[in-house]
Structure 1
Amino acid sequence: MENILVSEKLSTFRNFFNQETKPCLTETSFSPVPFANQIGEPFASLSDLLDTYYKDKAERDRVKQQASELIRRVENELQKNRHKLKKQEKELLATDNAEEFRQKGELLTTFLHQVPNDQDQVILDNYYTNQPITIALDKALTPNQNAQRYFKRYQKLKEAVKYLTDLIEETKATILYLESVETVLNQAGLEGIAEIREELIQTGFIRRRQREKIQKRKKPEQYLASDGKTIIYVGRNNLQNEELTFKMARKEELWFHAKDIPGSHVVISGNLDPSDEVKTDAAELAAYFSQGRLSNLVQVDMIEVKKLNKPTGGKPGFVTYTGQKTLRVTPDPEKIASMKKS
């Protein structure tokens, strides 16, 4: 039995290396033969594959060189805002005893006749817990002034809670925005870098150079769905996302976005009753142009444009929504390339 198993393994091993050479190039690697479940671009020869690989690598290196300043700036801003968020959350945690100050003020007011003068503390019955409580006093203040002192401290902390909560939400939104820019930068081609720089100038993260011209905004990219007639638009940066979602798209059209991760806005244009196949096409585009590009399975939200909300003061491309449906798709680089309209 053992010999049979060994023989089968050797046979499988020989078959793998004896198969016809079909070089395959993927997003992250290349191999002389395709592996099971591997999604990639096939080539007629290893020489053709290597030519394409190193040509693409040269372009990626040029993009990386041109994008290095932007990447460094975005990474620095992300680090700064993440540190700020931790500090704000720590400060918010310190306000947890606000209710305690209010209760002490209430108890001092209720039992004012039991509060002595010229003492640094008083023990009262706490009707909130049905247990005695020791309350610190300021000897220089009257009983009523001590009660008001606790109410003022409570009010100050209460205001701090609202202030810090608003700051935390603002910082979180900034982090989400910067993460979306980081995702786009990592996927951008040479012509996309200038647009991203313009976006960062408009959002105040970098300054415009002296005599630097305003970058003309390009339209979102167009892709042709599997039905051969439906156009699907994809925003390749946040300025394009903003234009696509809030200026170009009709309210009844379907909008797609990778769930809970940075990515492109995707809209099925003109077709108000798309087939499941077309919806899948759009979802795959949203998955591919997102932080989940290299994942085997990506969740993508689908919702009508009219149900999207733009928060007041929100960064470009930032939306909120409820009532979406979620699709699960696998990004396919070869399919995406075949859908691209020239």
Structure 2
Amino acid sequence: MAFDGIVISNIVSELKQKLTGGRISKIAQPEPEELVLTIKNKKDTYRLFLSANASLPLIYLTQEAGLSPMTAPNFCMLLRKHIGNARITDVTQPGLERIVRLELEHLDELGDLRQKSLVIEIMGKHSNIIFCDGTKIVDSIKHVSAAVSSVREVLPGRDYFIPNTTGKTNPLAADKTFFSSLFSSGKNIAAILSGNFTGISNVSAEEIVYRSGLDSSLAAEACTLEEQTRLWNAFSGVMDLIRTQQFSPCIAYDNNEPKEFSAFLLTGLTEYRLQTFDSISEVLYTYYNSRSAIARMRQKSADLRHLVQNLIERTAKKADLQRRQLSDTDKREKYRIYGELLNAYGYDCPPDAKSYEVFNYYTDQMMTIPLDPTMTAKENAQKYFERYNKLKRTFEALSTLTVETENELAHLESIMTSIDIAASDIDLDEIRRELGESGYIKSHGPKGRKDNRRKCVPYHYLSSDGFDIYVGKNNYQNEELTFKFAQGNDIWMHAKKTPGSHVIIQTNGREVPDRTYEEAGSLAVYYSKAKTAPKAEVDYIERKFVKKPAGAKPGFVIYHTNYSLVASPDISSLKLISGGE
């Protein structure tokens, strides 16, 4: 995640444009390390979200006010007292540091005009929000004593300064002579950019190198003068964009999952889909809300994931053991033939023989039969028939058990895929219900009466050609979508021979174009275990030819004479209508 000095520069540019001249009308502290400032500027009202959380420091404009505690924390009360009606005179960034300064002007108790500043430091675990009067710290949202940091104390009454602990240079002030001096390093060229200049993250460094046309793994000391010049031109080109505030905020998506964001186009991430936005605040809000939603769902589903994974491993071991035992029964027919041939020719077998060679009338060849010398030929034959019957009974039992175990394993893997697909608590509740009704966990659902719990809804997409496409999120929903919702002439799709969702193209009697087939196929791959593959095969057929065997697990179907297509898991061209809440 590239929350670097370049992104901060974009934020400062946006805040300067929208907030300069505005007055702070409300100050709230919804969380111990978060602030929300409501600012009125002419006819517009803005909410500035500030977070000094060590794991997720942020600053951006938002529409959400946030819930404030009944009793405001001390830092919030202090800000209300001093800058409750302050005017924002400027928004600045020192160098390309990850620091934003709100310069404020207000009237004190005597009616005199005073200047204060609110400093937001976005520096990982060292992030802070510091209220200053000139160079003196009035207070901060997090106090840092000498026992915590030997570099700088952040306490009331101490001097405020920016510690230079990294020895990096401001890239906006760098010239070509200084830039050329960096190429004596043995590091790669991307590392010398991120390691020697403030505000340039690894993502930004990789993008600058890509724009130069060079390989980021190239060692700096191996660069020719021509290559150094190309890198300098790309570097200075990006710095010019920052100076002139020509930002292009964007998010790089891997399908629907946000991977990176930046204040300028990440042209080097060719494997991802880039989406541009009008403002960097919109980028940050969208990115972190999406990421936090994914993280929350993974956290909420962790217990289910752990349970199902253990069940899958246990069932897979059982299936493997059963398959090995089943393969051991392959020699049963050999024992039967031994017994038959000994009964047919054993009268001529010499006593105490350890083996006996006879003519095998099944193959028209001679066969040597091992014998127990302490037993007669008839007794040896009886022993072989007993082995045969035992292995035959084992084969018959295991033939049924192996199929049942493999069906159970496929069912559990489909449940794991449903957990990956789940988008809300309702989706997880339905998966728990399936696990309970399948006997894997204790069911707390209603017995003998109607279940009035909310049902999760399938994903509803709109194809490029205007066709409605529905995707089931779990086995119960797959079954309902296929056998209760879909009509006979609708198109049914499923990733071939892998756990995944049922996908329905609602035709309404129309002919489905090839592009819609391809997009629905991509959905079938994306919402399956084959999601990580570049491409996968998808079966499709009219819904009326899909059947459910009697007694089968939820979502299990059979079909014949189907068609197939190959699709990638790229669903970026599809519009999600509902189901993603």
**1:286 lines up with 2:520 in the alignment:** no
| Corresponding residue number in structure 2 for 1:192 | 427
**1:263 lines up with 2:500 in the alignment:** yes
| Corresponding residue number in structure 2 for 1:103 | 337
Task: Flag structure 1 segments of 5+ consecutive residues without an equivalent.
Answer: none
Task: Report Cα offsets for 1:100-155 as digits up to 9, x if no partner.
Answer: 201211210110311356x4644232424734514324746x64343233223213
Deviates more, 1:76-85 or 1:198-207: 198-207
**1:180 lines up with 2:414 in the alignment:** yes
CA contact (8 A) 1:224 1:341 kept: no
Task: Report Cα offsets for 1:179-227 as digits up to 9, x if no partner.
Answer: 1211221221223111111111122211113879944434433333333
Task: Report Cα offsets for 1:63-98 as digits up to 9, x if no partner.
Answer: 233222211110110010011112112212222221
Structure 2 CA distance for aligned equivalents of residues 138 and 197 of structure 1: 62
| Corresponding residue number in structure 2 for 1:206 | 441
Structure 1 CA distance for aligned equivalents of residues 549 and 379 of structure 2: 43
Structure 2 CA distance for aligned equivalents of residues 30 and 233 of structure 1: 29
**1:24 lines up with 2:251 in the alignment:** yes
| Corresponding residue number in structure 2 for 1:222 | 460
Pick closer, same or farther for the CA change 1:277–1:173 going to 2, 3 Å: same
Measured after TM superposition, the shift of residue 240 of structure 1 is: 0.5
Pick closer, same or farther for the CA change 1:121–1:313 going to 2, 3 Å: farther
Structure 2 CA distance for aligned equivalents of residues 4 and 317 of structure 1: 64
TM-score, with structure 1 as normaliser: 0.85
| Corresponding residue number in structure 1 for 2:216 | none
| Corresponding residue number in structure 1 for 2:282 | 48
Structure 1 CA distance for aligned equivalents of residues 329 and 237 of structure 2: 65
Alignment of 1:300-311 (within 5 A): 300-311=538-549
Pick closer, same or farther for the CA change 1:17–1:271 going to 2, 3 Å: farther
The amino acid across from 1:42 in the alignment is T
The alignment partner of 1:29 has SS state of strand
**1:233 lines up with 2:470 in the alignment:** yes
- Which of 140, 144, 150 is the matching residue for 2:378? 144
| Corresponding residue number in structure 2 for 1:135 | 370
- Which of 226, 246, 250 is the matching residue for 2:483? 246
The amino acid across from 2:557 in the alignment is V
The amino acid across from 1:319 in the alignment is V
Alignment of 1:117-128 (within 5 A): 119=352, 121-127=354-360, 128=363
CA contact (8 A) 2:252 2:272 kept: no
CA contact (8 A) 1:41 1:334 kept: no
| Corresponding residue number in structure 2 for 1:39 | 273
Pick closer, same or farther for the CA change 1:325–1:120 going to 2, 3 Å: same
- Which of 281, 287, 294 is the matching residue for 1:60? 294
Q: Which has the larger radius of gyration?
A: 2
Pick closer, same or farther for the CA change 1:12–1:37 going to 2, 3 Å: farther
Structure 2 CA distance for aligned equivalents of residues 262 and 5 of structure 1: 53
Higher helix share: 1
The alignment partner of 1:97 has SS state of helix
Structure 1 CA distance for aligned equivalents of residues 329 and 341 of structure 2: 20
Q: Tell me which of the two structures has the higher relative contact order, counting C-alpha pairs closer than 8 angstroms and 6 or more residues apart.
A: 1
Structure 2 CA distance for aligned equivalents of residues 46 and 204 of structure 1: 49
Pick closer, same or farther for the CA change 1:61–1:10 going to 2, 3 Å: closer
Structure 1 CA distance for aligned equivalents of residues 367 and 518 of structure 2: 65
| Corresponding residue number in structure 1 for 2:39 | none
The alignment partner of 1:335 has SS state of coil
RMSD (Å), alpha carbons: 3.1
Structure 1 CA distance for aligned equivalents of residues 464 and 412 of structure 2: 33
Structure 2 CA distance for aligned equivalents of residues 81 and 274 of structure 1: 41
The alignment partner of 2:330 has SS state of coil
Pick closer, same or farther for the CA change 1:181–1:40 going to 2, 3 Å: farther
The amino acid across from 1:124 in the alignment is E
CA contact (8 A) 1:105 1:148 kept: yes
The alignment partner of 2:473 has SS state of coil
| Corresponding residue number in structure 2 for 1:330 | 568
Task: Report Cα offsets for 1:214-268 as digits up to 9, x if no partner.
Answer: 444344333333333x322211111000111223223332111122322110111
Alignment of 1:66-77 (within 5 A): 66-77=300-311
The alignment partner of 1:301 has SS state of strand
Structure 2 CA distance for aligned equivalents of residues 249 and 210 of structure 1: 28
The percent identity for this pair of structures is 32
The amino acid across from 2:251 in the alignment is C
CA contact (8 A) 1:85 1:168 kept: yes
The alignment partner of 1:292 has SS state of helix
Pick closer, same or farther for the CA change 1:283–1:249 going to 2, 3 Å: same
**1:340 lines up with 2:567 in the alignment:** no
Higher strand share: 2
